[in-house]
Protein backbone atom coordinates (compact mmCIF):
# COMPACT_ATOMS: atom_id res chain seq x y z
CA UNK A 1 0.00 0.00 0.00
CA UNK A 2 1.28 3.45 -0.91
CA UNK A 3 1.68 5.31 2.37
CA UNK A 4 1.33 9.02 2.99
CA UNK A 5 2.41 10.98 6.02
CA UNK A 6 -0.01 11.39 8.91
CA UNK A 7 0.60 14.49 11.07
CA UNK A 8 -1.53 15.40 14.09
CA UNK A 9 -1.69 18.52 16.24
CA UNK A 10 -2.64 18.30 19.88
CA UNK A 11 -2.63 20.56 22.90
CA UNK A 12 -4.68 22.01 25.72
CA UNK A 13 -7.39 24.59 24.95
CA UNK A 14 -6.10 27.80 23.37
CA UNK A 15 -2.75 26.35 22.35
CA UNK A 16 -3.05 27.62 18.77
CA UNK A 17 -2.92 24.20 17.13
CA UNK A 18 -5.44 25.13 14.44
CA UNK A 19 -3.39 28.19 13.44
CA UNK A 20 -0.22 26.13 13.17
CA UNK A 21 -1.80 23.20 11.35
CA UNK A 22 -3.30 25.61 8.79
CA UNK A 23 0.05 27.39 8.29
CA UNK A 24 1.79 24.06 7.81
CA UNK A 25 -0.87 22.92 5.34
CA UNK A 26 -0.48 26.11 3.25
CA UNK A 27 3.32 25.79 3.35
CA UNK A 28 3.27 22.18 2.10
CA UNK A 29 0.64 22.87 -0.57
CA UNK A 30 2.77 25.74 -1.88
CA UNK A 31 5.48 23.15 -2.43
CA UNK A 32 3.24 21.15 -4.68
CA UNK A 33 2.42 18.46 -2.14
CA UNK A 34 -1.04 16.94 -1.84
CA UNK A 35 -2.38 17.72 1.63
CA UNK A 36 -5.64 16.91 3.38
CA UNK A 37 -6.34 19.18 6.34
CA UNK A 38 -9.05 17.95 8.67
CA UNK A 39 -10.09 18.03 12.29
CA UNK A 40 -11.48 15.92 15.07
CA UNK A 41 -14.21 15.66 15.99
CA UNK A 42 -15.36 16.56 12.50
CA UNK A 43 -14.19 16.42 8.92
CA UNK A 44 -17.22 14.60 7.46
CA UNK A 45 -20.95 15.35 7.44
CA UNK A 46 -21.68 12.74 10.10
CA UNK A 47 -18.65 13.64 12.25
CA UNK A 48 -19.51 17.37 12.15
CA UNK A 49 -23.01 16.52 13.39
CA UNK A 50 -21.53 14.47 16.23
CA UNK A 51 -19.21 17.41 16.99
CA UNK A 52 -22.24 19.65 17.49
CA UNK A 53 -23.70 17.23 20.06
CA UNK A 54 -20.36 16.89 21.86
CA UNK A 55 -19.66 20.61 22.15
CA UNK A 56 -23.21 21.79 22.83
CA UNK A 57 -23.02 23.37 26.29
CA UNK A 58 -26.69 22.42 26.88
CA UNK A 59 -25.68 18.74 27.01
CA UNK A 60 -24.52 19.13 30.60
CA UNK A 61 -25.52 15.62 31.68
CA UNK A 62 -23.50 13.74 29.09
CA UNK A 63 -21.82 10.75 30.69
CA UNK A 64 -18.06 10.48 30.03
CA UNK A 65 -18.45 7.02 28.49
CA UNK A 66 -21.13 8.36 26.14
CA UNK A 67 -18.78 11.26 25.35
CA UNK A 68 -15.86 8.93 24.66
CA UNK A 69 -17.94 6.71 22.36
CA UNK A 70 -19.22 9.72 20.43
CA UNK A 71 -15.65 10.95 19.86
CA UNK A 72 -14.81 7.43 18.66
CA UNK A 73 -17.89 7.34 16.41
CA UNK A 74 -16.87 10.63 14.80
CA UNK A 75 -13.37 9.20 14.36
CA UNK A 76 -14.56 6.02 12.61
CA UNK A 77 -16.24 8.13 9.97
CA UNK A 78 -13.38 10.58 9.26
CA UNK A 79 -10.82 7.76 9.15
CA UNK A 80 -12.98 5.81 6.70
CA UNK A 81 -14.09 8.66 4.46
CA UNK A 82 -11.08 10.97 4.50
CA UNK A 83 -7.91 9.95 6.31
CA UNK A 84 -7.35 6.38 5.13
CA UNK A 85 -8.12 7.10 1.45
CA UNK A 86 -5.74 10.10 1.45
CA UNK A 87 -2.93 8.12 3.09
CA UNK A 88 -3.50 5.29 0.59
CA UNK A 89 -2.95 7.78 -2.23
CA UNK A 90 0.34 8.78 -0.61
CA UNK A 91 -0.91 12.22 0.44
CA UNK A 92 -0.04 14.14 3.59
CA UNK A 93 -2.84 14.26 6.16
CA UNK A 94 -2.85 16.98 8.81
CA UNK A 95 -5.45 16.47 11.52
CA UNK A 96 -6.28 18.77 14.44
CA UNK A 97 -6.50 16.24 17.28
CA UNK A 98 -6.80 12.45 17.05
CA UNK A 99 -6.81 9.48 19.42
CA UNK A 100 -4.39 11.12 21.89
CA UNK A 101 -7.15 13.64 22.65
CA UNK A 102 -9.53 10.86 23.73
CA UNK A 103 -6.80 9.30 25.85
CA UNK A 104 -6.18 12.56 27.73
CA UNK A 105 -9.61 14.24 27.79
CA UNK A 106 -11.77 11.18 28.48
CA UNK A 107 -8.96 9.13 30.06
CA UNK A 108 -6.40 11.05 32.14
CA UNK A 109 -8.84 13.88 32.83
CA UNK A 110 -12.21 12.16 32.44
CA UNK A 111 -11.43 9.11 34.55
CA UNK A 112 -11.85 6.28 32.01
CA UNK A 113 -8.90 3.89 31.87
CA UNK A 114 -6.50 5.25 29.20
CA UNK A 115 -5.72 1.63 28.25
CA UNK A 116 -9.38 0.90 27.46
CA UNK A 117 -9.54 4.04 25.34
CA UNK A 118 -6.37 3.07 23.50
CA UNK A 119 -7.77 -0.42 22.84
CA UNK A 120 -11.05 0.93 21.45
CA UNK A 121 -9.06 3.47 19.45
CA UNK A 122 -6.84 0.80 17.93
CA UNK A 123 -9.90 -1.28 17.07
CA UNK A 124 -11.66 1.56 15.27
CA UNK A 125 -8.68 3.15 13.52
CA UNK A 126 -7.39 -0.19 12.21
CA UNK A 127 -3.75 0.71 11.86
CA UNK A 128 -4.16 4.40 11.01
CA UNK A 129 -1.95 6.22 13.49
CA UNK A 130 0.06 9.43 13.37
CA UNK A 131 3.67 9.35 12.15
CA UNK A 132 4.36 12.59 14.00
CA UNK A 133 2.37 14.58 16.54
CA UNK A 134 3.01 18.20 17.48
CA UNK A 135 1.99 18.84 21.04
CA UNK A 136 1.57 22.57 21.46
CA UNK A 137 2.11 23.02 25.15
CA UNK A 138 0.77 25.98 27.08
CA UNK A 139 0.00 26.89 30.67
CA UNK A 140 -3.66 25.99 31.07
CA UNK A 141 -4.76 29.35 32.48
CA UNK A 142 -2.99 31.18 29.66
CA UNK A 143 -4.63 28.94 27.06
CA UNK A 144 -8.12 29.33 28.52
CA UNK A 145 -7.65 33.11 28.62
CA UNK A 146 -7.12 33.07 24.85
CA UNK A 147 -10.61 31.63 24.22
CA UNK A 148 -13.64 33.69 23.26
CA UNK A 149 -16.43 34.56 25.70
CA UNK A 150 -18.84 31.78 24.71
CA UNK A 151 -17.26 28.56 25.86
CA UNK A 152 -18.31 25.14 24.55
CA UNK A 153 -19.13 22.13 26.76
CA UNK A 154 -15.51 20.96 26.93
CA UNK A 155 -13.99 24.41 27.45
CA UNK A 156 -16.35 24.91 30.42
CA UNK A 157 -14.84 22.01 32.36
CA UNK A 158 -12.89 22.84 35.52
CA UNK A 159 -9.35 24.16 35.75
CA UNK A 160 -8.46 20.88 37.48
CA UNK A 161 -9.78 18.96 34.45
CA UNK A 162 -7.79 21.07 32.00
CA UNK A 163 -4.63 20.71 34.07
CA UNK A 164 -5.10 16.92 33.94
CA UNK A 165 -5.44 17.23 30.15
CA UNK A 166 -2.10 19.01 29.95
CA UNK A 167 -0.42 16.50 32.29
CA UNK A 168 -1.87 13.65 30.23
CA UNK A 169 -0.46 15.06 27.01
CA UNK A 170 2.96 15.55 28.59
CA UNK A 171 2.87 11.97 29.92
CA UNK A 172 2.17 10.64 26.41
CA UNK A 173 5.02 12.79 25.07
CA UNK A 174 7.41 11.29 27.64
CA UNK A 175 6.34 7.75 26.73
CA UNK A 176 6.40 8.31 22.99
CA UNK A 177 9.20 10.81 22.60
CA UNK A 178 9.97 9.70 19.05
CA UNK A 179 6.48 10.44 17.75
CA UNK A 180 5.39 13.35 19.92
CA UNK A 181 7.27 16.66 19.61
CA UNK A 182 6.53 19.06 22.41
CA UNK A 183 6.53 22.66 21.23
CA UNK A 184 6.04 25.67 23.45
CA UNK A 185 2.94 27.49 22.26
CA UNK A 186 3.86 30.78 23.88
CA UNK A 187 6.74 31.60 21.54
CA UNK A 188 6.38 33.85 18.53
CA UNK A 189 4.07 32.20 15.91
CA UNK A 190 6.65 32.44 13.12
CA UNK A 191 9.36 30.84 15.25
CA UNK A 192 7.10 28.03 16.41
CA UNK A 193 5.96 27.40 12.84
CA UNK A 194 9.59 27.33 11.66
CA UNK A 195 10.36 24.58 14.17
CA UNK A 196 7.34 22.55 13.00
CA UNK A 197 8.26 22.93 9.32
CA UNK A 198 11.84 21.79 9.96
CA UNK A 199 10.64 18.55 11.52
CA UNK A 200 8.21 17.86 8.67
CA UNK A 201 10.74 18.70 5.95
CA UNK A 202 13.27 16.39 7.58
CA UNK A 203 10.79 13.51 7.48
CA UNK A 204 9.79 14.25 3.89
CA UNK A 205 13.41 14.54 2.79
CA UNK A 206 14.19 11.21 4.38
CA UNK A 207 11.36 9.75 2.27
CA UNK A 208 12.50 11.62 -0.90
CA UNK A 209 9.02 13.15 -1.01
CA UNK A 210 9.83 16.82 -1.15
CA UNK A 211 10.10 19.54 -3.72
CA UNK A 212 12.14 22.25 -2.03
CA UNK A 213 10.92 25.31 -3.88
CA UNK A 214 7.44 26.81 -3.68
CA UNK A 215 5.58 26.31 -6.99
P1 LIG B 1 -10.99 21.52 19.26
O2 LIG B 1 -10.46 22.26 20.44
O3 LIG B 1 -9.91 20.96 18.43
O4 LIG B 1 -12.03 22.25 18.53
O5 LIG B 1 -11.68 20.15 19.84
C6 LIG B 1 -12.93 20.14 20.38
C7 LIG B 1 -12.93 19.71 21.81
O8 LIG B 1 -13.07 18.29 21.90
C9 LIG B 1 -11.71 20.06 22.63
O10 LIG B 1 -12.17 20.54 23.87
C11 LIG B 1 -11.02 18.74 22.84
C12 LIG B 1 -12.15 17.76 22.82
N13 LIG B 1 -11.83 16.39 22.42
C14 LIG B 1 -11.99 15.36 23.34
O15 LIG B 1 -12.36 15.60 24.48
N16 LIG B 1 -11.75 14.09 22.92
C17 LIG B 1 -11.38 13.77 21.65
O18 LIG B 1 -11.18 12.60 21.31
C19 LIG B 1 -11.22 14.87 20.71
C20 LIG B 1 -10.80 14.56 19.30
C21 LIG B 1 -11.44 16.15 21.14
Domains of the chain: 5-206 (3.40.50.300)
Ligand 1 pocket, mutate which of 154, 155, 161, 185 (most atoms under 8 A from CB): 154
- Ligand 1 proximal residues by C-beta, below 6 Å: 13, 40-41, 71, 96-97, 101-102, 105-106, 154
d(CA 120, CA 214): 41
Per-residue pLDDT tens over the stretch 105-114: 999 999 999 9
Question: What H or E segment, with its residue span, contains residue 21?
Answer: helix 17-30
Residue minimizing CA distance to atom 9 of ligand 1: 154
Question: What H or E segment, with its residue span, contains residue 167?
Answer: helix 159-175
Mean pLDDT of the region 210-215: 55
CA of 101 to the centre of ligand 1 (A): 6
Residues 6+ apart with CB under 8 A from 197: 24, 27
DSSP 8-state class, residue 139 = -
| Claim: this prediction has a pTM higher than 0.85 | yes
Per-residue pLDDT tens over the stretch 159-203: 999 999 999 999 999 999 999 999 998 889 999 999 999 999 999
Number of Cβ within 10 Å of residue 17's Cβ equals 23
Q: Which pLDDT score is estimated for 3?
A: 85
- Number of helices (H), then strands (E), in the chain: 9, 5
Which atom of ligand 1 is least distant from the CA of 75? 20
Amino acid sequence: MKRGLFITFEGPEGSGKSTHSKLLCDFLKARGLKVLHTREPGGTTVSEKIRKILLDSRNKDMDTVCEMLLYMAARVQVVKEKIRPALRKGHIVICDRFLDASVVYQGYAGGISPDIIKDIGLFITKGVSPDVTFLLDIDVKKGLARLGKTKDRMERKSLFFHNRVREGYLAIARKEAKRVRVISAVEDIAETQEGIRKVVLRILNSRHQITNKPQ
